[in-house]
Chain A
Amino acid sequence: MPTTTTTTDRIEKQIFLRASRERVWRALTDSREFGSWFGMRFAEPFKPGATIRATIVPTTVDPETAAMQKQFEGFAFDIVIERIEPQRLFSFRWHPGAVDPNIDYTKEPMTLVEFELKAAEGGILLTVAESGFDKIPLARRAAAFTGNEEGWTKVVTLIEKYLEQNA
């Protein structure tokens, strides 16, 4: 399990990977490899400053997750690549928890996701930090209101039902 540090604005995780720096770097910055473990397909290679269309496709790594992702298959959103510092740092911005096709996320603030690689005995210590949550609209964060693990989708469904009933 990764170790976690959080504030309301930032989540930080560290995980040890028993693999070479080159292997980890490729898994993060080759958009096809990233997509394959994360569960997305990217329209083009990652390049600093580029806005890239990401489409949800089930991961090839874990069948259980793949089954869950299946229902969101085809949902598309943009990510903006920030920095690619070879073998050391990769960062991008995106809309956290964006899976509702009825919501236009494009005008909302994005969070920043940073991957940092550090040498460690027998592998790489990878730090992932996602920050900028304090700027995410309260209504989006209300996802958690229902206090259950399903989070997002449930709230999105709640909002839809609510709007239907109050149309």
Chain B
Amino acid sequence: MRNATRISGKEARRSAPIFAALGDETRLRMLSRLAQSGPMSITSLTAGTGVTRQAVTKHLRRMEYAGLLQASRLGRERVWEVDPASLDMAEQYLRTISDQWDAALGRLKAFVES
């Protein structure tokens, strides 16, 4: 089951950019789009969103700072993609839930076999 831990203020501050970066609907939408589509240019990220190119750039930089995204050059354009390390997030999350199921099924086994 879930376990609580005390954490230091320092640790909380270190993680703050991640939560700040996730705490905005436009950014969450951009992130989920990038996670699904792979690398995209600012031009294609802006198209059809109703958000200005300038605002999109600002959001991208913020997520880059939080370690969620990374930028690289493709020919003359800069393309943005989800930082592979941050993809661990989904995996880690499932691992946590998966461990909880292992524990729960262990209890079920003990319960029905006793």
Contacts and interface: CB of A to CB of B under 8 A. Distances in A.
A19 B97 contact: no
Contacts of A165: 9, 12-13, 16
A17 B107 CA distance: 11
A144 B103 contact: no
B69 interface: no
B78 interface: no
Given A142-B89, A162-B12, A59 B107 contact: yes
Interface in B53-78: none
Contact of B102 (A2, A28, A33): A2
A85 interface: no
A154 B7 contact: yes
- Size band of the interface chain A makes with B: 35 or more
Contacts of B113: 17-19
B23 interface: yes
B49 to A, nearest CB: 18
Contact of B111 (A36, A97, A150, A162): A36
Given A141-B90, A142-B19, A11 B4 contact: no
A8 B90 contact: yes
A124 to B, nearest CB: 9
Contacts of A39: 1, 107
A69 interface: yes
A153 B4 CA distance: 5
Nearest to B102: A2
Interface string A144-156: 1111111111100
A127 B114 CA distance: 20
B43 interface: no
Nearest to B8: A161
A23 interface: yes
B107 A62 contact: yes
A2 to B, nearest CB: 5
Interface of B: 1-7, 9, 11-13, 15-16, 18-20, 22-23, 28, 31-32, 86, 88-99, 101-113
Interface of A: 1-2, 4, 6, 8, 11, 13, 15, 17-19, 23-24, 27-28, 33, 36-39, 59, 61-62, 65, 68-69, 71-72, 96-97, 99, 126, 128, 130, 133, 137-139, 141-154, 157-159, 161-162, 165-166
